[in-house]
Amino acid sequence: MAADGAKPLRLDPLWQEPHPVAMPARAVGEGYCRIAIRPISDLRDHPELVGVLGKRKLLSPDDRVAWLGSMLSGLSARGLDLALVAALDGASGNRNIALLSLRSAWVDYYQGGFTSVVIFDLTLPEGSTSITKTIRARATTTDFLGDIRSRAESSFRKSVAKALDEIAATMRSACRQ
């Protein structure tokens, strides 16, 4: 683990897209996929820790609820009409229901390269046809521009964006308009 005396690094308070997202093509008259979703559950064993870079810990932002919520905005950018709800009992209206959990988020640094891995669990509980899927996404960057924290952040953003692409595609395929 990181040396106790090394000052830890912290990810940005809000997740941001690493690049512009192209909206998925829709057929004429097709609506957006309407989803009722609770805030992302953080199921990591150590939710404050995202990696160890050399001898320095890489930490989640202080406000992890806002940070995880900013990741949900990435689903909206991918063509989903999200309604954030506190509970899913009767609050979904005519929307599909989705549960999303962050099981793992880790950034590693080795010989100048950064590898970031995120694992989300997605559940679409639609009666007897419930879908549960584990989504793993990995991004590796070897750029040498910027400081170690910003390069780690860049790798992390890319892995989350890849995961959100797959999450959105899964939600759209299960969506009833």
Reported as a single tens digit per residue, the pLDDT across 30-60 is 566 888 888 899 999 999 999 998 889 999 9
Q: How far apart are CA 93 and CA 133, in angstroms?
A: 24
Q: Identify each DSSP E strand in 54-130 by its residue range.
A: 56-59, 80-84, 96-110, 113-124
Query: Using N-to-C axis directions, what is the helix angle for 64-76 and 148-174, rounded to 10°?
Result: 50
Tell me the Ramachandran region of residue 111: left when phi exceeds 0, alpha when psi lies from -120 to 50, beta otherwise: left
**Residue 135 or residue 20, greater confidence:** 135
In the structure, what pLDDT confidence band is assigned to residue 124 with cuts at 50, 70 and 90?
confident
* Domain 33-174 class in CATH: alpha beta
Question: Kind of pairing, strands 131-141 and 113-124?
Answer: antiparallel
Return the pLDDT at 103. Answer: 96
| Both tokens assigned to 28 | 């004429």
With a cut of 80, say whether residue 97 has pLDDT above it.
yes
Q: How far apart are CA 74 and CA 16, in angstroms?
A: 8
User: Among candidates 5, 19, 4, which has minimal Cα distance to 139?
Assistant: 19
Return the pLDDT at 148. Answer: 86
| Mean pLDDT over the full length of the chain | 85
Helix (H, G, I), strand (E, B) or coil at 34: strand
With a cut of 60, say whether residue 28 has pLDDT above it.
no
| Both tokens assigned to 51 | 């990696």
Q: How far apart are CA 34 and CA 144, in angstroms?
A: 41
Partner residues linked to 99 by β-bridges: 123
In the structure, what pLDDT confidence band is assigned to residue 164 with cuts at 50, 70 and 90?
very high
